[in-house]
């Protein structure tokens, strides 16, 4: 690969130092979580490149409404055409300028849940090593080589650091180093940056060496007690973290260590308590009601805290009276089980509750004279109408009820298939979360539109980078590029907003 020339980058940097917005291309953009964070931090989103049409349409609607929306809304295979051809087709410009490239190649090959699915399909224990999506980072590097940006940002799951026994993150960093970039990577948890979700992800920042700075990551603004499961994942992925500097991988940064003195992490209740109540009347009409994401529903109350005000008032996505996309799945078998589950309960507990509900119904019907012998057709029908069929030993984490005073567990793309992993904490509603609630937990503003059906909207939200986390990274990058102080508001648990300068982490 040919190193990016110093003079090209310096010419771009001089323009940025005069106050022009950096032009960003978001590769594998999805619906635009990374784009949204960067736009709000003062960048111009030149283009999002996304293979799936529905996600490309959503990105275009939110970032490029108007004359060129149709061009931006077209799904494109990043491996089928050159960067120049794709950008010319999207933007209508012969040679559009690119200052920053961001994005995350599809993570399914790296994520453990994705590996399992690949093994099932391919009947091979090493299927995840053969999945072409595992090599899409090479296409990302080709874009860097050809568009010659000042800086790059990558995001992926922590397992990219131990993919088939190889630290792919370090390989990517070394390739960018050869292209002329100073590179650092680490793991960040979204809950430490004001997102009501304990989402752990790998981030890499590269800045061209001619700029003369070492990339840094934003310091945490919020504190939460990391669950045991996340500690295990983090510890296995970031084996270097507690090693002396000379023993670490060349481009790895220590993990940020938030202080307990910081504001408490934004909780599920902080995030969701103002959204419309969806109780028995709503659920009863679900089968008759079209799940139309465009329908507006009034807010339950005025915004109660800074996070809710932010979600309603995000620049360019402001809302006043209510929200769209507040739709849920019809799950009549499970509503009573949901209501009886305690916050934080998982599938084995849910199954135990469902079986007790079944026994109660069975005894009531028998007391009325019905002959419902165990194993009979009537007995089986009642069982099926109440008790979920999953093996608790194989699927202990398939269900989980949110805890109102704690951030949500990670939202996954699997939400496109079911939402049992995110049962609403409010037992009076007794249901799984809505599309809008998933968006809130991912820190998408209420005015952000999802141009799809319900299942696809859930999937694109689960795949996205949380905009507030992207925003913190974008702000820190801008601080690095201008070698100054970039201020941005922090949303505290005490519902106060104060401008806080980013403080770089030490690598």
Given a contact cutoff of 8 angstroms between Cβ atoms, the answer to whether 191 and 166 are in contact is no
pLDDT digits (tens, 9 = 90+) for 236-250: 666 777 778 777 888
pLDDT at 328 over 60: yes
Provide the CA 281 distance to its chain's centre, in angstroms.
31
Residue 81 lies in a domain: yes
pLDDT value of position 421: 96
Least confident among 12-26, 35-49, 93-107? 93-107
Does residue 392 have a pLDDT over 50? yes
Domain total of the chain: 1
Q: Which domain holds residue 27?
A: 6-263+465-501
Report the alpha-carbon distance of residue 261 to residue 107 in Å, rounded. Answer: 34
23 lies in a domain? Answer: yes
Candidate list 107, 253, 268, 479, residue with the active-site label:
107
Counted residue by residue, the chain has a size of: 507
Confidence (pLDDT) at 496: 33
Strands 100-103 and 200-208: unpaired
* pLDDT tens-digit readout, 290-307: 678 999 999 999 999 999
Structural domain contains residue 59 = yes
Percentage of the chain surpassing pLDDT 90? 73
| CATH, residue 14 | 3.40.50.150
Least confident of 114-118, 246-250, 393-397: 114-118
pLDDT at 165: 74
Whether 107 is a known active-site residue: answer: yes
pLDDT, tens only, 264-284: 999 999 999 999 999 998 998
Q: Is residue 372 part of a domain?
A: no
Q: Rounded CA gap, 216 and 186, in Å?
A: 10
Residue 247's DSSP bridge partners are none
In the structure, what pLDDT confidence band is assigned to residue 231 with cuts at 50, 70 and 90? low
pLDDT at 144: 95
Q: Mean pLDDT, the chain, as a whole number?
A: 88
Other beta carbons within 10 angstroms of residue 52's beta carbon come to: 17
What integer pLDDT is reported at residue 246 of this predicted model?
79
Q: Confidence band (pLDDT; 50, 70, 90) for 362?
A: very high
The token pair at 258 is: 């938030």
| 272 within a domain of the structure (yes/no) | no
> What pLDDT band is residue 127 in, cutting at 50, 70 and 90?
very low
Is residue 352 in a domain? no
Q: Do 58 and 460 contact (CB within 8 A), yes or no?
A: yes
Q: Is residue 234 part of a domain?
A: yes
pLDDT score at 290: 66
In a domain, 310, yes or no: no
Say whether pLDDT at 490 is over 70. Answer: no
Q: Which of 316, 330, 334, 251 is nearest to 285 (CA)?
A: 330
Mean predicted confidence (pLDDT) in 336-359: 97
């Amino acid at each position: 690969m040919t190193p990016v020339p110093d003079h090209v980058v310096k010419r771009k940097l001089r323009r940025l130092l005069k106050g022009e917005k950096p032009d960003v291309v978001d590769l594998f953009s999805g619906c635009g979580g990374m784009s949204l964070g960067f736009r709000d931090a003062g960048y111009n989103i030149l283009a999002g490149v996304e293979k799936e049409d529905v996600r490309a349409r959503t990105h275009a609607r939110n970032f490029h409404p108007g004359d060129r929306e149709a061009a931006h809304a077209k799904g494109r295979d990043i491996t089928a055409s050159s960067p120049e051809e794709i950008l010319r087709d999207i933007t209508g410009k012969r040679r559009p300028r690119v200052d920053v490239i961001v994005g995350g190649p599809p993570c399914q090959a790296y994520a453990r849940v994705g590996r399992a699915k690949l093994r099932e399909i391919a009947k091979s224990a090493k299927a995840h090593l053969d999945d072409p999506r595992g090599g899409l980072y090479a296409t990302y590097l080709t874009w860097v080589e050809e568009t010659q940006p000042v800086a790059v940002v990558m995001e992926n799951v922590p397992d990219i650091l131990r993919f088939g026994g190889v630290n792919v993150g370090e390989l990517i960093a070394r390739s960018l180093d050869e292209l002329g970039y100073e590179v650092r990577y680490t793991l960040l948890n979204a809950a430490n940056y004001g997102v009501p979700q304990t989402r752990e992800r790998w981030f890499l920042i590269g800045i061209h060496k001619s700029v003369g700075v070492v990339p840094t990551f934003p310091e945490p603004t919020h504190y939460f007690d990391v669950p045991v499961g996340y500690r295990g994942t983090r510890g296995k992925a970031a084996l270097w973290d507690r090693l002396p500097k000379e023993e670490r991988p060349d481009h790895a940064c220590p993990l940020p260590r938030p202080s307990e003195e910081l504001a408490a992490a934004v909780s599920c209740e902080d995030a969701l308590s103002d959204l419309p109540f969806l109780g028995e009347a709503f659920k009863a009409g679900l089968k008759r009601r079209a799940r139309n994401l465009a329908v507006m529903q009034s807010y339950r109350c005025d915004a109660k805290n800074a996070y809710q005000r932010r979600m309603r008032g995000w620049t360019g996505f402001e809302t006043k009276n209510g929200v769209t996309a507040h739709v849920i799945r019809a799950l009549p078998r499970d509503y009573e089980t949901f209501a009886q589950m305690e916050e934080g309960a998982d599938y084995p507990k849910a199954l135990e509750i469902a079986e007790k509900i079944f026994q109660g119904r069975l005894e009531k019907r028998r007391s009325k004279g019905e002959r419902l012998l165990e194993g009979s057709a009537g007995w089986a029908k009642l069982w099926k109408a109440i008790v979920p069929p999953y093996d608790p030993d194989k699927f202990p984490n398939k269900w989980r009820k949110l805890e109102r005073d704690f951030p949500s567990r990670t939202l996954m793309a699997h939400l496109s298939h079911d939402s049992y992993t995110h049962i609403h904490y409010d037992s009076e509603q007794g249901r799984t979360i809505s599309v809008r609630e998933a968006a809130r937990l991912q820190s998408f503003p209420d005015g952000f539109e999802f141009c799809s059906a319900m299942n696809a909207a859930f999937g694109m939200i689960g795949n996205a980078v949380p905009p507030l986390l992207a925003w913190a990274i974008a702000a820190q990058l801008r601080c690095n590029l201008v070698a100054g102080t970039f201020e941005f508001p922090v949303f505290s648990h005490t519902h106060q907003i104060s401008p806080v300068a980013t403080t770089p982490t030490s690598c």
